[in-house]
Structure 1
């Protein structure tokens, strides 16, 4: 079993429903962003699936990715102007700290 499949049933993994993703995309005018990073959304994420349907330019990674795309070590895509995701809450403080560092470093 892959790492992702093991964690998919964790209490920390709560998938964002499709209708919520659609509402978020409408509220933020998702088409206005040129380079999007989904740091906690890979495989079957509705964030990613809807982005594919809209032909958005994005990078999707996950904290427990078999490919080594860990949020804490992976850099955002070049010229990233939006980071959006539904992160695991067990790491919320570390995630918030890294997010603010990335903003301060003008990487988002």
Structure 2
């Protein structure tokens, strides 16, 4: 009996997502009436191109994905690094400290002014 709430995690084979993205893109462009037939023709054409050129878009896409997800340089935004992020955090904490000190100063001045007004 199958358990619908199992913790099974199915992994998509490398390159398969790229193949499906390419197919989806072409389906959206062409808007075919018979999608399964279009998909069969698309993959047949892709196989013929791969045999002629020895270029496998699935393998290439898998390499690109692997490079993106396993190379930390791709994950960081341009120009951002750990030192810059730490500097921003320190600056933000210091500005917060200055703001809190200013609020304390304003509250004490207001309190002094109200005491003087009550005299």
More helix by share: 2
Higher relative contact order (CA 8 A, sep 6+): 1
Pair member with larger Rg: 2
TM range (shorter): under 0.3
- TM-score under structure 1 length normalisation: 0.23
TM-score normalized by structure 2? 0.22
